[in-house]
Amino acid sequence: MPQEGQGLVLALDVGGTDIKVALQDAAGGFHGLRRLPTPLDPYRPGDVIVERVAGLVREYRDQAGGSPIRSIGLVVPGLVDEDAGVGILSANLGWRSYPFSRMVQEATGLPVAFGHDVGMAGDAEMRLGAGRGLRDVVVIIIGTGIAGALFCDGRRVLGGGFAGEIGHAPVPGGLQCACGATGCLETLASAGAIARRYTEASGRPVAGAAEVLAAAGAGDKDARSVWNEGVEALAVALSQMVAVLGSEAVILGGGLSQAGSALLEPLGQRVDSLLSFHRRPRLLRSVLGQDAGLMGAGLRARDLLAEPR
Amino acid sequence: MPQEGQGLVLALDVGGTDIKVALQDAAGGFHGLRRLPTPLDPYRPGDVIVERVAGLVREYRDQAGGSPIRSIGLVVPGLVDEDAGVGILSANLGWRSYPFSRMVQEATGLPVAFGHDVGMAGDAEMRLGAGRGLRDVVVIIIGTGIAGALFCDGRRVLGGGFAGEIGHAPVPGGLQCACGATGCLETLASAGAIARRYTEASGRPVAGAAEVLAAAGAGDKDARSVWNEGVEALAVALSQMVAVLGSEAVILGGGLSQAGSALLEPLGQRVDSLLSFHRRPRLLRSVLGQDAGLMGAGLRARDLLAEPR
């Protein structure tokens, strides 16, 4: 049974397919971590999430063995207005301008910390992970798509909920994107794009970008070309951000970052070659990994307990 | 004679060739605005500026007719650490890590507000100009070169003094830049580059980018091509920034912005075509123009008087 300490919080990370949920204790430890399918309802896309959250609060109250759950940390994807507690838009899950904070608070009676999944993952990475002690950082998460969180002068940039869309900024050679724009970074440099583009070029299906990297290492020309184009696009995008923001570090997370030095070394060299008098960013790997969003949700939920009510 | 009101401040904007200086009264009005050559000394590049500032304080004290000068606002180009009061680097004027705030304070006995010329011009534009009431804004000044100031969530991004170098971020098709990097925005889109590239293409010397725009309007193919490439590069650079920062507006200043709708209309259309679900920025022209830096210096000098000492 978890130790109560300053009390338990319930952390939830709502994704496109799964909800991750766990109790978090005062030391940051997770208890009862589970994944459940994200409930979908085209007519009540926000309400079904709130109902699931309320159900989970009841379940975890029982599990907590008498220790009260004192607050909820909830993070969701899409465009999010954290100050207002509103999910502005999720193309995948379907909500528009849904007041998550208020609805979850009404359904559970608990204080709610609400935020953007990647933004709060970035917060956690800055507080407890690779960004500790840094102020000017680009956090970039490269998986099926590409998302990010920008930290300037020690604060995350919100931009009315629109900031951090690194994957949907134009790069040279970028292709038609599912978002409707042309040229988006994630059409060349996401793990999903690298796998897809390799299959298109070679006719060979692959399970993911790791296979493309392995094939490139074994001398496969198509694999090399697709991998190198991804790295080049990332290098240009990162150089642009560093040049205008003065970032001291770039933290890479998500599936593609598991390539380690096979990604970070050529990427770092190319970023370096695109800069001159600018601040030179260190390239770092995420420390918290897949659970960073859940960790961020829990940390923020705990912050609520420390704030004067 | 200027009205004392809450007292006079002395505002100074140190440029590569000129120093602009004026007394500023409590209503923001300038008095005795002058331009003087910037003193250069390769061995004492910071000291000669400080000596000139101290001399100007004495002169303007006499002009002020008994009203005391209560603080100094000083802005300089290059890389600037505003928090530390240090000029990190000016390639043109020659200083490195020069402690301007401390040196001017010691030489004059007055409190000193010290900052980056374009950054403080941006501050003034946000407080009194086109950015009033906005929070997420890119300010871009396009003249001989290109510089900028980024405002996120109502605060200017400092990035340890390195933020805002919009002119030296890479764009597709960018050329070899004097800064040492290749691909910088200002090699295609500065007023200087547009004039230079037109002369290279056509063999015809021009006084500036305005002539190139006029020639483009008259059907000159070289002029059209150079102008359009400049606009395209600007559109890509602005789209990238808006996508990652969620900017609600772009404020254009400097010589090129005087082209007005001939610049803003095609630029706005192209930025719009590069974005999809993103926040769409309004494109605005600077209201304060050439004196924005001096205005910013004066405002910040006045802020010192309001702060508890």
Co-location of B61 and B158 in the same domain: no
Pairing of strands A79-81, A69-76: unpaired
Co-location of B13 and B94 in the same domain: yes
In terms of CA atoms, which chain B residue is nearest residue A166? B244
Using 50, 70 and 90 to split pLDDT, how confident is the model at B92?
confident
Q: What is the pLDDT of residue B237?
A: 97
| DSSP class of A303 | H
Digit-coded pLDDT (tens) for B101-140: 999 999 999 999 999 999 999 999 999 999 999 999 999 9
CB of B177 within 8 Å of a chain A CB? The answer is yes
Co-location of B40 and B111 in the same domain: yes
pLDDT over threshold 60, residue B209: yes
Q: Total structural domains in chain B?
A: 2
CB of A178 within 8 Å of a chain B CB? The answer is no
> Distance (Å, rounded) from C-alpha B178 to C-alpha B176?
7
Domain contains A35:
yes
Co-location of A282 and A136 in the same domain: yes
In terms of CA atoms, which chain B residue is nearest residue A274? B181
Closest CA–CA distance from residue A179 to any residue of chain B (Å): 6
Of B245, B248, B274, the CB nearest to A170: B274
- The end-to-end CA distance of chain A, in Å, is 29
Co-location of A201 and A107 in the same domain: no
CB of B149 within 8 Å of a chain A CB? The answer is no
Q: How many CB atoms lie within 10 A of CB A290?
A: 15
> Distance (Å, rounded) from C-alpha A180 to C-alpha A175?
11
Co-location of B166 and B223 in the same domain: yes
Beta bridge partners of A139: A149, A251
> Distance (Å, rounded) from C-alpha B48 to C-alpha B55?
11
Closest CA–CA distance from residue B151 to any residue of chain A (Å): 9
**CA–CA distance from A31 to each of A1, A9, A153, A290, A300 (Å)?**
8, 10, 34, 16, 17
> Distance (Å, rounded) from C-alpha B12 to C-alpha B73?
6
Q: A173 with A233: CB under 8 angstroms?
A: yes
Please choose, from the candidates A270, A246, A272, A282, the residue with its C-alpha nearest in 3D space to the C-alpha of residue B89: A246
CA atoms within 13 A on the CB side of A55: 9
Q: A247 with A271: CB under 8 angstroms?
A: no
Q: What is the pLDDT of residue B307?
A: 66
Co-location of B47 and B79 in the same domain: yes
Range of the domain at B92: 8-121+290-306
Q: Please answer yes or no on whether B159 and A246 come within 8 Å at the CB atom.
A: yes
Q: What's the distance, CA A154 to chain centroid?
A: 18
Written as six digits, the tokens of A157 are 């940039």
Tell me, what amino acid is at A118? V
> Distance (Å, rounded) from C-alpha B30 to C-alpha B253?
20
Q: Please answer yes or no on whether B245 and A276 come within 8 Å at the CB atom.
A: no
> Distance (Å, rounded) from C-alpha B72 to C-alpha B60?
12
CB of B11 within 8 Å of a chain A CB? The answer is no
> Distance (Å, rounded) from C-alpha A180 to C-alpha A183?
10
Q: What is the pLDDT of residue B306?
A: 83
Q: What is the pLDDT of residue A67?
A: 81
| DSSP class of B74 | E
Domain contains B1:
no
Domain contains B94:
yes
> Distance (Å, rounded) from C-alpha A308 to C-alpha B287?
42
Mean of pLDDT values over B45-62: 96
The torsion defined by the Cα of B35, B40, B46 and B49, in degrees rounded to 10, comes to -30
Co-location of B202 and B294 in the same domain: no
Largest CA distance in chain B: 61
Of B91, B152, B164, the CB nearest to A157: B152
Co-location of B228 and B301 in the same domain: no
Q: What is the pLDDT of residue A6?
A: 64
Q: What is the pLDDT of residue A1?
A: 45
Digit-coded pLDDT (tens) for B254-292: 999 999 999 999 999 999 999 998 999 999 999 999 999
Domain contains A2:
no
Q: What is the pLDDT of residue B3?
A: 47
Co-location of B147 and B264 in the same domain: yes
> Distance (Å, rounded) from C-alpha B304 to C-alpha A168?
42
Element spanning B62, H or E: helix B45-63
Please choose, from the candidates A264, A61, A243, A251, the residue with its C-alpha nearest in 3D space to the C-alpha of residue A156: A251
Which are the contacts of A31, defined by CB distance < 8 A and separation ≥ 6? A2, A8, A22, A23, A24, A25, A63
- If you average pLDDT over every residue of chain B, what do you get? 94
Domain contains A160:
yes
Name residues of chain A where pLDDT drops below 50: 1-4
Digit-coded pLDDT (tens) for A288-304: 999 999 999 999 999 99
> Distance (Å, rounded) from C-alpha A238 to C-alpha B169?
10
pLDDT over threshold 80, residue B4: no
> Distance (Å, rounded) from C-alpha B141 to C-alpha B66?
38
Of A159, A240, A245, the CB nearest to B136: A159
Co-location of A239 and A160 in the same domain: yes
> Distance (Å, rounded) from C-alpha A152 to C-alpha B155?
10
Domain contains B126:
no
pLDDT over threshold 60, residue B1: no
Co-location of A247 and A226 in the same domain: yes
Q: What's the distance, CA B271 to chain centroid?
A: 22
CATH code (residue B36): 3.30.420.40
CB of B304 within 8 Å of a chain A CB? The answer is no
CB of A148 within 8 Å of a chain B CB? The answer is yes
Q: Please answer yes or no on whether A157 and B279 come within 8 Å at the CB atom.
A: no
> Distance (Å, rounded) from C-alpha B216 to C-alpha B223?
5
Please choose, from the candidates B53, B50, B245, B84, the residue with its C-alpha nearest in 3D space to the C-alpha of residue B166: B245
Q: Which residue has the tokens 């200086």?
A: B21
Domain contains B127:
no
Q: Which of A184, A245, A271, A274 to mutate to test the interface with B (most CBs of B within 10 A)?
A: A245
Domain contains A3:
no
